[in-house]
Structure 1
Amino acid sequence: MALSVAITVVGGTLAACGAGDADTGADGKVELSIGTFTEFGYEDLLVEYQRLHPDITIKHNKTGQGGPYHQQLFTKLGANRGLEDVVAVEEGHLSDVLAKSRLFNDLAEIGPKDVTADRWLDWKYKAGTDKNGALIGYGTDVGPLAMCYRKDLFEAAGLPSDPEAVKPLFATWESYFAAGDQYVAGTGKAWFDSDAQIFNAMHNQLPTGFFTTADSLDIESNRDIRANWDAVTAAGARGQSAKLTAFSNEWNSGFKSAAFATKTCPAWMLGVIKGQAGPENAGKWAVTAAFPGGGGNWGGSYLTVPKQSAHPREAAELAAWLTAPEQQVKAFVKTGNFPSQVEALSAPELITATDAYFGGVESGKLFAEQAGKVAEPQYKGPGDGRIQETVTTPALQAVEQGTSPAEGWQRVVDGAKKIAG
């Protein structure tokens, strides 16, 4: 699911003190390592790359959870040893990597010269560059946002349920919360899963995150952040939130038990819904090409080459090949990770992809349309992702459990200041 994966490749570039201490094997082959987390869909691709490059061998270090993976990444960065030649970075942690861009190679300098910015969606490419314009990461997948909803629950509440007919409900956040009030009034049940999930989606649509472009904490002076906080907590207080912690057991079972009627839905969320709601709910869930505020992105990763690598050019060649449109389409077919490459978005394998669970929707075409709605990448300062994960989300959970929105907001301000230093 478009969550980052760390990859270590043993082939053309080996971290000098990286995932293994050998630069070249006894057989004379260049040994590369690649580090990834969750599912990138690279297992078959790495085998193919070694077949095409018999002078390269690759070791793939794959971690199940993105959180521990990124903690280890920054520990190894600080120690200047232990990183793979190719390292995956999830977009939520990218700002911390860009703040340490001096420790990574500029892929525009060491990578293949035919790999240019026009390979990627403009916003995806820009997000992988540092303030000096150095390209720190080749984009892998993205998580363009649409809205998923339960058709049967909408019908029971007197709301339209056809994917085209529901689009006006999801046109703006105001219309979304207004429809939520109608749903709660008609059913007495929750409209969305949690305050935090909605707040994060709203927040990520702002031009800047919790920091200014000068990396000054902006949480108190940025009125849009507080306005989003007030809107979400007010909707939750009116009964719209199911008060579930994302990816918890209760949240997982909520898809099956109809604990909420709508879900912010990046492309990879379709797989989550199918897995958690189960076959008995096939056809009840639907997805529509609409999202409040126009569009957004949740998830996706980049492949980087740390300066620890002893074979940076070979590592960059591997990362470039893995992020080529052809390979990203293969990864999409295997795992559903949605490509960020322009050519891949019009590939027949993607455009013709349908999903019977969601009523036969042309899911590939739908999310390609949503990807095109994302504008400039949000500027995130160092610590931005940590504030969202460890400060705003717990504070919103506290509000759902009875803390006043004002007190919860003060927790956010205080916690953000500690992280910003």
Structure 2
Amino acid sequence: MRPRHWVRVVVCVVVSTVVAACGAGGAANRTADGRTELTVATFNEFGYEELFREYEAAHPDVKITPRKTGQGAPHHQNLFTKLGAGSGLADVEAVEEGYLSQVMARSDQFHDLLEIGPKAVTPDRWLRWKVEAATTRNGRLIGYGTDIGPLALCYRKDLFAEAGLPSEPDDVRQLFATWDSYFAAGDRFVAAVSGVAWFDSAAQIFNAMHNQHDVGYFDTSDTLVVESNPDIRNDWNAVTNAVARGQSAKLTAFSNEWNTGFKLGRFATTTCPSWMLGVIETQAGPENAGKWAVTDAFPDGGGNWGGSYLTVPKQSRNAGKAAELAAWLTAPEQQIKAFQARGTFPSQIDALENRALLEQVNTYFDNVKAGALFAAQVQKVKAAQHKGPADGQIQEDAFGPALRSVEQGKNANDAWGTAVKEAKKIAG
């Protein structure tokens, strides 16, 4: 999740026969009854629990043992520590998009899935930009794409009506056409409704805006361009000006206060990657069913926020078998099942055209066909933004805290200087 709190899963596999050609690192783990043990380390949720049982049923010689970490940051810290140590990793490791650049910088420690994976699994299964992000400059594919996070906006219908704003999804599109129109609607809202903010968090809005640009914190040469990229400063100014006009609820995303904010109706809109629908339903609770809505519009076009990959480190004890499991978990059929289980949105083209996805109805959000809505939003994403070294850390540890300081009263220009300074320190 970006901040790195969104729902993601890591898969780790240890299988039986050692394949020397795949760079195996030792004898495979076996259970007491002689089955091959496939260890699956996860962070948060991917909807894989039933899939693991299905895989075991089709492979009776395999036992999958899940391991789950509550959030993504500890998992990735562990991943990079063990990469440095040269041992201790599982056979398949998931990598969230915000950390992918750090993995790509160590691509020589991961297998090329085009070489060791099933030959029928070709890159054209996935959205082009999803594959490109995990492909090295010399053409090695480091990860199989799992989910993605096409962007829409979620809003409170009842609060919009109270403010005299359009409240039905078809009518709300005009408010969300551009970021200018979005913030203008926010001014109208806060003037009409007391005690309720327009959006939840400055960082959430800024991160969504930032992810839309072709160039973000780093250019394609991995040079930090925070100061020279005018889009970043323009986004900063737009968001901090909205904060100054009272539009932010000043809630840190995924904090207890933010969770409570959904339940108590403390803000009217929030950025909605596809995976956010489940978060809202959980936190807002059954008493707010039907009050939240989502529309197939996002300011200034589409965008993607979130998504992961399954990789096979060269530490894998059985890289060939590990790649087989990773390929199976990311196949269209399994991506649809994971979506139905946990709302993780597919990145495979066939899955995006599947009737089960397109006909999926979300009763919490006023019976919207959420699958079809987000499939349409995917088509607005033409390329994935290049994520340079420590991109996720800059988002979390430089710009996030700086934006929160503005919400607490710090001068926006001073906070910008702090964010730039911290970004340079992180980038080295």
Question: Aligned pair 1:10/2:14, yes or no?
Answer: yes
Instruction: Report if aligned partners of 1:145, 1:367 keep a CA contact under 8 Å in 2.
Output: yes
- The correspondence for 2:130, drawn from 103, 115, 124, is 124
Query: What is the TM-score of this pair, normalised by structure 1?
Result: 0.95
- Give the match for residue 152 of structure 2: 146
Secondary structure at 1:114 match in 2: coil
Residue 351 of structure 1: CA displacement?
A: 1.2
Instruction: Report if aligned partners of 1:15, 1:83 keep a CA contact under 8 Å in 2.
Output: no
- Give the match for residue 112 of structure 2: 106
Q: How many residues align?
A: 421
Residue 95 of structure 1: CA displacement?
A: 1.1
- Give the match for residue 406 of structure 2: 399
- CA, structure 1 residues 146+253, in 2 after alignment: closer, same or farther (shift >3 Å)? same
Instruction: Report if aligned partners of 1:11, 1:55 keep a CA contact under 8 Å in 2.
Output: no
- Give the match for residue 88 of structure 1: 94
| Structure 2 Cα separation of the partners of residues 293 and 332 of structure 1 | 27
- CA, structure 1 residues 282+92, in 2 after alignment: closer, same or farther (shift >3 Å)? same
| Structure 2 Cα separation of the partners of residues 81 and 208 of structure 1 | 35
Residue 60 of structure 1: CA displacement?
A: 2.4
Residue 56 of structure 1: CA displacement?
A: 3.4
Residue 27 of structure 1: CA displacement?
A: 6.2
Instruction: Report if aligned partners of 1:172, 1:293 keep a CA contact under 8 Å in 2.
Output: yes
- Give the match for residue 233 of structure 1: 240
Query: What is the TM-score of this pair, normalised by structure 2?
Result: 0.94
- Give the match for residue 360 of structure 2: 353
Question: Aligned pair 1:133/2:139, yes or no?
Answer: yes
- Give the match for residue 221 of structure 1: 228
Question: Aligned pair 1:208/2:208, yes or no?
Answer: no
Cα deviation, 1:123-162, whole Å, max 9, x if unaligned, reads 2111121232211110111111111001111111111011
- Give the match for residue 159 of structure 1: 165
Q: Residue 331 of structure 1 aligns to which amino acid in structure 2?
A: A
Question: Aligned pair 1:412/2:419, yes or no?
Answer: yes
- Give the match for residue 383 of structure 1: 390
Residue 256 of structure 1: CA displacement?
A: 1.7
Instruction: Report if aligned partners of 1:194, 1:241 keep a CA contact under 8 Å in 2.
Output: yes
| Structure 2 Cα separation of the partners of residues 383 and 14 of structure 1 | 34
| Structure 2 Cα separation of the partners of residues 111 and 384 of structure 1 | 29
| Structure 2 Cα separation of the partners of residues 30 and 280 of structure 1 | 46
RMSD: 2.1
| Structure 2 Cα separation of the partners of residues 184 and 347 of structure 1 | 41
| Structure 2 Cα separation of the partners of residues 350 and 22 of structure 1 | 37
Q: Residue 182 of structure 2 aligns to which amino acid in structure 1?
A: Y
- The correspondence for 1:52, drawn from 58, 61, 64, is 58
Residue 14 of structure 1: CA displacement?
A: 7.6
Cα deviation, 1:396-416, whole Å, max 9, x if unaligned, reads 000111111111111111101
Residue 2 of structure 1: CA displacement?
A: 6.0
| Structure 2 Cα separation of the partners of residues 87 and 165 of structure 1 | 43
Secondary structure at 2:315 match in 1: coil
- Give the match for residue 83 of structure 2: 77
| Structure 1 Cα separation of the partners of residues 60 and 44 of structure 2 | 27
Instruction: Report if aligned partners of 2:150, 2:305 keep a CA contact under 8 Å in 1.
Output: yes
Moved more, 237-246 or 35-44: 35-44
Cα deviation, 1:322-347, whole Å, max 9, x if unaligned, reads 00001111111111111111111122
| Structure 1 Cα separation of the partners of residues 252 and 31 of structure 2 | 47
* Unpaired runs of at least 5, structure 1: none
Percent identity (aligned): 63
- The correspondence for 2:334, drawn from 304, 322, 327, is 327
Residue 15 of structure 1: CA displacement?
A: 11
| Structure 1 Cα separation of the partners of residues 16 and 179 of structure 2 | 49
Cα deviation, 1:181-239, whole Å, max 9, x if unaligned, reads 11112224311001100000001111122111111111111111111111110011111
- Give the match for residue 313 of structure 1: 320
* Unpaired runs of at least 5, structure 2: none
| Structure 1 Cα separation of the partners of residues 319 and 26 of structure 2 | 15
- Give the match for residue 339 of structure 1: 346
- CA, structure 1 residues 91+3, in 2 after alignment: closer, same or farther (shift >3 Å)? farther
Instruction: Report if aligned partners of 2:218, 2:225 keep a CA contact under 8 Å in 1.
Output: yes
Residue 25 of structure 1: CA displacement?
A: 6.0
Cα deviation, 1:13-37, whole Å, max 9, x if unaligned, reads 7899999974566766544333221
- CA, structure 1 residues 397+13, in 2 after alignment: closer, same or farther (shift >3 Å)? farther
| Structure 2 Cα separation of the partners of residues 34 and 168 of structure 1 | 45
Q: Residue 421 of structure 2 aligns to which amino acid in structure 1?
A: D
Q: Residue 237 of structure 1 aligns to which amino acid in structure 2?
A: A
- Give the match for residue 279 of structure 1: 286
Cα deviation, 1:339-373, whole Å, max 9, x if unaligned, reads 11111112222111111111111111111111121
| Structure 2 Cα separation of the partners of residues 20 and 171 of structure 1 | 56
- CA, structure 1 residues 197+308, in 2 after alignment: closer, same or farther (shift >3 Å)? same
Moved more, 27-36 or 65-74: 27-36
Question: Aligned pair 1:367/2:371, yes or no?
Answer: no
Cα deviation, 1:248-279, whole Å, max 9, x if unaligned, reads 11111111211111110111111111111111
Q: Residue 298 of structure 1 aligns to which amino acid in structure 2?
A: W
- CA, structure 1 residues 161+309, in 2 after alignment: closer, same or farther (shift >3 Å)? same
| Structure 1 Cα separation of the partners of residues 272 and 377 of structure 2 | 11
- CA, structure 1 residues 307+405, in 2 after alignment: closer, same or farther (shift >3 Å)? same
Moved more, 277-286 or 195-204: 277-286
Q: Residue 379 of structure 2 aligns to which amino acid in structure 1?
A: G
- CA, structure 1 residues 292+42, in 2 after alignment: closer, same or farther (shift >3 Å)? same
Residue 59 of structure 1: CA displacement?
A: 2.8
Secondary structure at 1:147 match in 2: strand
